[in-house]
Amino acid sequence: MTEQTAVVGSREPCPCGSGRRYKACHGRAERERTHQVVTRPFAGLSGECDWVALREIVPAATGQVRLRDQSKLRDQSTAVTVATVLPLAWPAMVRTDGSIYLGLQTAAQSVDPGRDLAAALIAALEAPPASSITNAELAGLVATGDGPRLQDLLADSVFEVTVHSGFEFWGQDMPDPDGELAESLERVSEAVVPTSRLTEVEAAYWCRIGERTHLRWVLPDDESRLLDALARLHAARELGLGEGTKYVGAFRAHGLVVPVWDLAPDADAADVEAPAVALRKRLDDALRDDSPLSVTERRSRAGLLSRQVTLR
């Protein structure tokens, strides 16, 4: 089947000429393709771990991206900012100056967030200034499961994240239908968790939730080898981040493992920088160890697998 093949009903003959009904021929392959979950939707993007963090655990942050020269979109010079959350949970918005904001924390429209985001970006590039792309509009754009993915549209450039204490980056130069912006801003600002990105390691985020502080670290390593490495460190009592810290478990997000540590209640992000660098070195050494796990290490691995963390 190609994009030029006529669309037919599921019980009609397949246009490929096989003589079978469409639903039993190419229709089946199409259903499987559009319902197959993309395990790592941000793989191939520079800073994949930070993309996952902004999608899943960081409340307020932005990052600049560039369009590919060969993307044949309206204007490759258009400024595009990726943001965790936009007003009213819009997938994208075009400010009055023509710059574009692309929202990551939006309702899923398909099994591939990379395709959802690409559809939102293309819609924004085709929209006039001072407009927004809603979830209802985006649902119609991705319903067929066709179209490019975000990786097809963005240039390979460093993804630098800026963490914000609130949503002041929304600014005033943006669409504001029926005065809903102020209400949306107040609502999301109340839910902001104080968060900082560590500077000495990649995609590690300190946060304070109530009276407790944590480090949540999105790691790019292969899951099976990473779990082996974590088990080696845990068995050797080298999985901590210093006095008063405790490894509490991990969760999976978009194909990557995200370990979580409890920190000392008064610890800030700067206090974790040096311990995180040292832990990353120990983890790299453990990842290079190809020897079979010992009995103690296997027991540690089983224990780590049982520590599933649920995001709040």
For residue 136, is pLDDT > 70? yes
pLDDT band at 309 (very low <50, low <70, confident <90, very high): low
For residue 155, is pLDDT > 50? yes
| Residue 288 exposure: Cα atoms within 13 Å on the Cβ side | 5
Residue 85: which domain range?
A: 48-189
Whether residues 158 and 222 fall in one domain: no
User: How far is it, in rounded angstroms, from Cα 181 to Cα 25?
Assistant: 48
pLDDT band at 35 (very low <50, low <70, confident <90, very high): low
Whether residues 93 and 223 fall in one domain: no
First to last CA, the chain: 44
99 in any annotated domain: yes
Over residues 214-222, the mean pLDDT reads 97
- Which structure tokens are listed for 41? 């939707």
**136 vs 145, residue with greater confidence:** 136
Domain count, the chain: 2
Backbone angles phi, psi at 179, to 5 degrees: 65, 25
Does pTM surpass 0.95? no
Q: Which of 143, 169, 189 is the last residue of a domain?
A: 189
Whether residues 173 and 263 fall in one domain: no
Q: For residue 228, give every residue at least 6 positions away whose Cβ sits within 8 Å of its Cβ, in sequence order, or none.
A: 286, 293, 297, 301
Whether residues 179 and 111 fall in one domain: yes
User: What CATH number does the domain containing 227 carry?
Assistant: 3.30.1460
251 in any annotated domain: yes
For residue 91, is pLDDT > 60? yes
